[in-house]
Amino acid sequence: MQETMTQAVIKKIAGGTAATPAGFSADGVHCGLRYEKRDMGVLFSKVPANCAAVYTQSHFQAAPLLVTKESIAKEGKIQALLVNSGIANACTGKKGLLDAYKMRSSCANKWNLKENHVAIASTGVIGEHLKMDLIESGIGMLNPSVEGAGGEAFQNAILTTDTVEKSSCYQFQADDKTITIGGAAKGSGMIHPNMATMLAFITTDANIDSALLQESLREITDNTFNQITVDGETSTNDMVLVMANGCAGNESLTKTHKDWPVFQDTLQMVCEELAKSIARDGEGATKLIETTVKGARTKEEARRVAKKIVGSSLVKSAVYGEDANWGRIIGAMGHSDAYMEPAKIDIFLGGICMLEEGEPKPFSEKEAKEYLKNEQILITVDLHVGENEGTAWGCDLTYDYVKINASYRT
């Protein structure tokens, strides 16, 4: 991210949602897939929007992903995104695929859209079929609004075990036009993206070609959503989708446009904020763990080591127990395939040096324990074998994680 540029021109919009960019609206309702919470939402653009998406790498991709891939592939445009929670429609065979197509066609019929201009997503329990009568009823109840309540209702409707809604919104100027990028996400458990029950939906009123949007999203996803982990599990339904409807009226953004770097930085900020909010809301979590690895040979190696650390059950447990056992960090790094020279490595917990050039450093246990009481914990590792760095985000591992997942279906 280009820090000096972003500080100068990018503004965070408090309370902004995925319905904040011009030309977008949203809604969320309760249709009965869940006992009482909202369980169906829609994001709607007044014109077909250029679209980009990345998906889970699981071998068991859910039916909604297959249908959405088909929709986007046809023209690269989406006008409505329909999402249900409660049932994932994953591992549901031929009927599940037919239900996903029906979900798409019903949405298209309601708003008189081309079927390939509708994307769908589902999240919830794997291996159960959708209750299509409830799906149809929910679509009938949806009434997208540009007001803040519409965006908030959508954010709420896509949640499962999440404890908080997750949103982000920023603005910048391009061609004397105000460009807005907003987003909503869900995810709390089964999080280890490559690309977990993780969904993120981003909207912008910027004018940008879908192919370039896809390139930008893929690069930024590698630095943000693919750098979070809660429990090392990857889901069947992961998706990050971006819609750009051009309603801001700017000239088309290209790599040669003077404001291209600002667009990149703003999209990165939205994605990073959403990714961190997912990691912070890990099931049962009490702390966000952020690990930055510096001095690596390549960015990819730095990212891999950082994710190894935040993904370690022993590191996560030590952070929960407020135990400054930096040997857990060494243990996680030790089975990474990144290049390392142990005699060169430094490790810091916050500002406290634990290891310097491979040698243990005396530190105050009291000071370290006090630091570990914070809600956000920073671990920094310097490999001293290159010039590249990467960051990953995770959370602590608590007793409540087991309780939540032991009773997920009951």
Any domain includes 283: no
pLDDT bucket at 2, cuts 50 / 70 / 90: very low
Segment 220-247 mean pLDDT? 84
Query: How much is the pLDDT for 235?
Result: 73
Predicted confidence (pLDDT) at residue 24 exceeds the cutoff of 50: yes
- The residue among 232, 253, 278 that closes a domain is 278
Do residue 173 and residue 292 come from a single domain? no
Q: Are residues 200 and 338 in the same domain?
A: no
Q: Are residues 160 and 180 in the same domain?
A: yes
9 is a domain residue: yes
Using a cut of 0.75, tell me whether the model's pTM lies above it: yes
Domain-embedded: residue 72: yes
| Residue 312, in any domain of the structure | yes
pLDDT at residue number 236:
85
Check whether residue 95 and residue 244 sit in a common domain. yes
Tracing tokens 């959508």 back to the chain, one arrives at 154
| Shared-domain flag, residues 21 and 121 | yes
Q: What is the mean pLDDT of residues 115-135?
A: 95
Compute φ and ψ for 12, nearest 5 degrees.
-75, 135
Same domain? For 272 and 320 the reply is no
Residues facing 119 on adjacent strands = 81
Do 340 and 383 touch, CB atoms closer than 8 A? yes
Note the pLDDT of residue 410.
56
Task: Answer whether residue 177 is part of any domain.
Answer: yes
Asked whether residue 84 is domain-assigned, the answer is yes
* CATH value at residue 234: 3.60.70.12
Residues of the domain holding 327 = 288-406
- The residue among 257, 278, 299 that closes a domain is 278
Query: What does the mean pLDDT of the chain come to?
Result: 90
Do 269 and 305 sit in the same domain of this protein?
A: no
* Same-domain status, 104 and 196: yes
Same domain, 137 and 194: yes
Q: How confident is the model at residue 202 (pLDDT cuts 50, 70, 90)?
A: very high
57-62 own/partner pairs: CB under 8 Å, 24+ apart: 57/194, 57/195, 57/234, 58/234, 58/235, 58/236, 58/238, 60/90, 60/91, 60/236, 61/90, 61/236, 62/88, 62/89, 62/90, 62/91, 62/92, 62/96, 62/122, 62/236, 62/237
Question: What is the model's pLDDT at position 409?
Answer: 59
Question: What is the number of domains present in the chain?
Answer: 2
| Active-site residue flag, 197 | yes
pLDDT tens digits, one per residue of 173-197: 999 999 999 999 998 654 444 434 5
256 with 112, same domain: the answer is yes
Shared-domain flag, residues 309 and 244: no
142 and 253 share one domain: yes
Of 243, 278, 313, the last residue of a domain is 278
pLDDT category of residue 286 using cuts at 50, 70 and 90:
confident
List the CATH number of the domain containing 348.
3.10.20.340
The residue from 68, 123, 180, 197 that is catalytic is: 197
